[in-house]
Chain A
Amino acid sequence: MCLAVPYKIISTDDTKAIADVFGVRKEIDIRVIENVNVDDYVLVHAGFAIQKMSQKEAKITLKLLREVSEKSI
């Protein structure tokens, strides 16, 4: 239940942002993350960003997630 997924920030609006994961865009909440900019990656749990992450780290995690979801389909 504590799963969290990296999202890439597309645009921000105060405490909300539009972010992308695997080409799907979602509104997420960024109120506990400081200085969020477009193209940053954040770790998102239940629509809520809990930490910033580097692009390198995000790519590794996304690759793993893709493998997991392909295997479980």
Chain B
Amino acid sequence: MKNQFKDNPQLLPLLCKIDKLIELSERKGKRFNFMEICGTHTVSILKHGFRSYFKDKIKFISGPGCPVCVTSQKDMDRVIALAKSGVKIATFGDLIKVPGSHSSLEEQQALGKQIDVVYSPLDCLKIAENADEEVVFIAVGFETTIPVIASLVLDAERMNIKNLSILAIIKTIPNALKFLLANLETEIDGFICPGHVSVIIGEQPYNIIPEKYGIPCAIAGFDPVDIALGIESLITQIKDKNPIVANRYKRMVKLDGNPAARNLINEVFEEDDVDWRGFGKVPASGLKLRKRFAKFDADKKFDIKVETTSEPKGCICGEIIAGKKLPAECQLFAKKCTPDSPVGPCMVSFEGSCAAFYKYGE
């Protein structure tokens, strides 16, 4: 994997600089614990060999940043119950294989239920216009995705589409991070903050992390140089004992994010306490539709009943999401659980920790 580094003329000097900074930071052999919040960073850090390169110096801990993985078992069961009830489901492809307690969308599709995979939530407008039956979009996502979900609802209202609704399983990052920080079991020395979530929310929501907890933050992009820049910033902050929110993805992330996108979100949604796999209920860490949009709320439109909910036996996704364990610590990893026959959501999603370790693991 290090060969990839050799091919990259920008990366080598950066890595040398990081190695020097680590020496100067007087850690005396103690590893840094860095959490990357975003699933796309988890994949990139593994794929480009950062984990192995910094093996003795940095421990990378994956955070709760894979929307599919953090969807609770109960919410997944609600999605499957809706599919069973005969409405037409429109969903991102990532959710198809996620196992619920008793079935999956894939299985329901094989049984003849109508499940359409969409590239954009806005595709649901045409699907609903061409359908006689009710269409429900399974609205999963973080801040990157919420503006387009809000646009779907606004357009459906404007076009007076009556047979379309969304099942909101929407989560937001800042309050989830606050919860994570208040309940930390391992010491975190720095956060690599998500790139595309930050395009929407900007730098400000992370300020509480250095200010209240004294932990450095670096917003980073996704290519190897971006990630190295993020790591370099975190270690510099530690060495100088000056924790801040450093923006290493300035070309995309503005100080104030994208206010127009946030206005859309605020017009359509309001804060809600929601369930996270691995965390349980987290105050104000998700969104629900405002009253004005009640007619587009699948929760209000349909009586969604779930049978008993049970986590997949032996699966430790919850602990992996909370940064407490690594995929290899799961007894099913790469044995009973593989991307072809996943037991838990962390093996389904391309950016789930288990799938990333399976594909690029050490």
Contacts and interface: CB of A to CB of B under 8 A. Distances in A.
B151 A46 contact: no
B40 A2 contact: yes
Interface stretch (B82-90, B103-111, B195-203, B288-296): B195-203
B44 to A, nearest CB: 10
A60 B225 CA distance: 12
A59 to B, nearest CB: 12
B120 A50 contact: no
Interface residues of B, number: 38
A50 B264 contact: no
B92 to A, nearest CB: 7
Given A29-B122, A46-B119, A1 B39 contact: yes
Contacts of A60: 223
B251 A45 contact: no
A5 B195 CA distance: 13
B101 interface: no
A32 B147 contact: yes
Interface in B132-152: 140-142, 144-145, 147-148, 151
Contact of A46 (B148, B223, B251, B258): B148
Contact of B144 (A33, A34, A45, A61): A45
9 contacts: A2-B39, A2-B141, A2-B145, A34-B260, A46-B145, A47-B121, A48-B120, A50-B196, A51-B252
